Chains A and B, each alone.
Chain A
Amino acid sequence: MKHWMFNCKKVTHLVSESLDRKLSLDQRMGMRIHLMMCKFCSRYQEQLLFLRKTARLYSESSEEPDLSTQLSSEVGKRIKESMVRFLEKHK
Chain B
Amino acid sequence: MNKQQSISNNPVENPEKWVDLYGDYLYRYALYRVYEATVAEDLVQETFLAALRSFKNFQYRSSIKTWLTGILKHKIIDHFRKKAKEQQIDDIEPNINKLDDLFTKNGQWKIKPANWNADPQKLYDQKEFIKILHKCLSELPGRQASAFILREIVGEKTKEICKILDISTTNCWVLLHRARMYLRRCLEIKWFTNEDVRESK
Residues of A within 8 A of B188 (CB): 47
Residue B89, interface by CB 8 Å? no
Which residues 102-140 of B have a CB within 8 angstroms of A? 103, 106-109, 112-116, 118, 120-121, 123-124, 130, 133
Residue B181, interface by CB 8 Å? yes
Kindly state the interface size class of chain B when it binds its partner.
Answer: 35 or more
Partner of B41, one of A43, A52, A71: A71
A9 engages B16 (CB within 8 Å)? no
Residue B31, interface by CB 8 Å? yes
Q: Contacts A10-B107, A54-B124, A87-B15; is A17 near B173 (CB within 8 Å)? A: yes
B116 engages A43 (CB within 8 Å)? yes
A76 engages B113 (CB within 8 Å)? no
Per-residue contact bits, chain A 51-85, to B (CB 8 Å; 1 contact, 0 not): 11111111101110110011100011011101110
Residues of B within 8 A of A9 (CB): 103, 107-108
Residues of A within 8 A of B48 (CB): 79, 82-83
Nearest residue in A to B120 (C-beta to C-beta)?
A53
Main secondary structure of the interface of B (DSSP, over half): helix
B49 engages A71 (CB within 8 Å)? no
A12 CA to B120 CA, complexed, in Å: 21
A20 CA to B151 CA, complexed, in Å: 9
Nearest residue in B to A50 (C-beta to C-beta)?
B120
B52 engages A13 (CB within 8 Å)? no
Nearest residue in A to B147 (C-beta to C-beta)?
A20
B184 engages A51 (CB within 8 Å)? yes
B184 engages A47 (CB within 8 Å)? yes
Chain A nearest Cβ from B154, distance in angstroms: 8
Nearest residue in B to A57 (C-beta to C-beta)?
B124
Footprint of B on A, CB under 8 Å? Answer: 7-10, 12-13, 16-17, 19-21, 40-41, 43-44, 46-48, 50-59, 61-63, 65-66, 69-71, 75-76, 78-80, 82-84, 86-87, 90
Footprint of A on B, CB under 8 Å? Answer: 1, 11-12, 15-16, 18-20, 23-25, 27-29, 31-33, 41, 44-45, 48-49, 52-53, 103, 106-109, 112-116, 118, 120-121, 123-124, 130, 133, 148, 151-155, 158, 172-173, 176-177, 180-181, 183-184, 187-188
